[in-house]
Amino acid sequence: MRLVSPVTALSLLAAILASGCQAAVIRAPGVLEDDEPPPPVVDPEAFFRANVEPILVAQCRVCHETTAASQGTVFLAPGGDYYASIWSYREGRLLTPGDGAGSVLVRKVTVDPHLGPSVSEGEAALFRQWIDAEGMTTEPPPVMPPPVEPMRTGFYPVNEGANRMPLAEVGLSGAELVFTATRITGGIIMTDVVLVAGAGGLVVNHPRFIVRDDTTSMERYERDEFSSVTIRAPAGGTGRLVDRFVISPFPTVGSLAIEFDTVGPYTM
């Protein structure tokens, strides 16, 4: 590809501005003009499919289609509609239409810490162009498919001794996660970890813990040991998760959430 040098581009730009006629720029195919503003995006969804989706397929799909590799951040519906699944992921937290540079999706692969790779500046520009254009359209966002994200509770501090974490946020009103916690150097030991059902009983699949450092707000998934576990408990009953579970490291000022793949009332 032939790149126009910055100096040439600048003088060219000056000439264009002086003539007041932008339409005078004649671009040979494949020639990239430095400092040239990108052409306006007419159809953000079409732009996404042509320019952004191929990057997601090549560089992001390997982790973000599955729970384990993405540590629960599944925003690419497996084999599904990426455009809709990105929009619907955790109430649209990845996109701020009109603010590509400030959007979580872009920040995560440019400036913010990320367990996955960063993208090139050229690729980041395509992400930004698309999200900026989303702010210009008056069309409603795509129809949301069923949420792809797992069911997660809020974060609760862990106290030495008895702990009871409500599970109402995942739709199990009256149910609790109950355990005893003991501080060890750099971590905690959880013992007698059980789920106590509310009035409807409960059935949950694939429980896993998320640890948050409350001083930095950084979150991480604890190792995934219960991927094939299903816990069932009738109304008022209990279901045992594990006798003893060590989380280390656990922050000095930290809190805990629990997440499931599926959650439902008790059935025989």
Phi and psi angles of residue 50, each rounded to the nearest 5 degrees, phi first: -80, -35
> In residues, how long is the chain?
268
Q: Per CB under 6 A, does 235 bind ligand HEC?
A: no
Q: Per CB under 6 A, does 105 bind ligand HEC?
A: yes
Q: Which of 52, 119, 148, 190 binds ligand HEC (CB under 6 A)?
A: 119
Q: Per CB under 6 A, does 152 bind ligand HEC?
A: no
Phi and psi angles of residue 177, each rounded to the nearest 5 degrees, phi first: -95, 125
Q: Per CB under 6 A, does 114 bind ligand HEC?
A: yes
In sequence order, what are the beta bridge partners of 263?
204
Of 191, 224, 190, the closest CA to residue 206 belongs to 224
Of 77-85, 108-116, 173-181, 191-199: span binding ligand HEC (CB under 6 A): 108-116
Q: Which of 115, 136, 168, 253 binds ligand HEC (CB under 6 A)?
A: 115
CB 72 within 8 A of CB 150: yes
CB 208 to ligand HEC: min, Å = 13
Measure the CA–CA gap between 32 and 35, rounded to whole angstroms.
9
How many of the chain's residues bind ligand HEC (CB under 6 A)?
A: 20
Q: Per CB under 6 A, does 212 bind ligand HEC?
A: no
Of 192, 202, 195, the closest CA to residue 234 belongs to 202
Of 5-13, 19-27, 110-118, 161-169: span binding ligand HEC (CB under 6 A): 110-118
Q: Per CB under 6 A, does 208 bind ligand HEC?
A: no
Of 7-15, 70-78, 162-170, 227-235: span binding ligand HEC (CB under 6 A): 70-78
SS3 (DSSP) at 8: helix
CB 15 to ligand HEC: min, Å = 38
| Helical H segments across the chain, by residue range | 6-19, 44-47, 53-55, 61-64, 82-88, 104-108, 121-134
> Given the rule CB under 6 A, which residues bind ligand HEC?
59-60, 62-64, 69-71, 73, 90, 94, 104-105, 108-109, 114-117, 119
